[in-house]
Amino acid sequence: MDTEFKIIEEPDLDDPILIEGLPGIGNVGRIAAEYMIKHLDAKKFAELYSPHFMPIVLIDDDEVSLLKFEFYYWKNDNGNDVIFLIGDSQAGKEGSRGHFEVSESVLDLAKRFGVKRILTLGGYSTGDLGDEMEEGPEVLGAVTHKEMIDEFDEFNINFEDTGSNIGMIVGGTGLLLGMAKKRDMDGLCLMGETAGFPILTDPMSAESIVEIVSDIFNMDIPLDDMDEKVKEMEDFLEKLEGLQKKSMKQMDYGDDGDDEKLRYIG
């Protein structure tokens, strides 16, 4: 089994932008993307399965299912339709090849539907509850080509401090940008500030992201009911994270000091 797609529908899209939100720091990207999908009533048209996800099935809503990525589309009026990508998990839980292989597959699908620009969403951790938080979480930006910075000048994105503050982007959120650049697409990454580790899922940071994305693409997404809607996503994502950690622990046997480990495998 290689990384593979299940195509549900072949939508006809106008100059689409890919917007990615995978689980990660504060689950900022994933929550932001899923909130937009729900609000815009975007339609699922494809799924991606990969042996680079954890070898587990989730039991949810009375059925088992493999971990997967999901692609949704939304027909916009402004000339740029949108493909949203959300996932149960980052790929590559067991090695960097997974990140590369799955990101390459995502870009293959993107190219097939005519995508020339991608937008990846994530979080970055400041590690403290600083003063800036009073004015809401800041959003850092990074681009594939520096000329793009001017293009997004009017939005509330801090491009100046990204290099010095974080210096790199780890996992799918970064690789998609880097690999898009190599394939002559361009891309933008938005990273919402999250206060620190005790907060697992950070809706406020996701809200800052949604606000900017909605402005850029004229999505007209109200944020007043976001807190509430995020609650259910949060429960699912925290369950998912807990299960993946548990399963990673269960598969990490070989350490004979801990006989319990081997006993967990199904």
- Taking the least distance from each CB to a second copy, the nearer of 58 and 115 is 58
Write down the least CB distance from residue 90 to a second copy, Å: 6
Write down the least CB distance from residue 262 to a second copy, Å: 6
- Taking the least distance from each CB to a second copy, the nearer of 13 and 85 is 85
H/E element holding 44?
strand 43-49
Give the pair of three-digit tokens for residue 188: 């933008």
Write down the least CB distance from residue 214 to a second copy, Å: 21
- Taking the least distance from each CB to a second copy, the nearer of 80 and 165 is 165
- Cross-strand pairs, 71: 46, 85
- Taking the least distance from each CB to a second copy, the nearer of 76 and 120 is 120
Contacts of 202 (CB under 8 A, 6+ apart): 26, 27, 28, 31, 123, 137, 192, 194, 195
Write down the least CB distance from residue 171 to a second copy, Å: 5
Cα separation, 72 vs 90, in Å, equals 18
Write down the least CB distance from residue 87 to a second copy, Å: 12
Contacts of 232 (CB under 8 A, 6+ apart): none
Give the pair of three-digit tokens for residue 31: 């929550």
- Taking the least distance from each CB to a second copy, the nearer of 180 and 210 is 180
Q: Which candidate, 237, 250, 167, 172, places its Cα nearest to that of 202?
A: 237
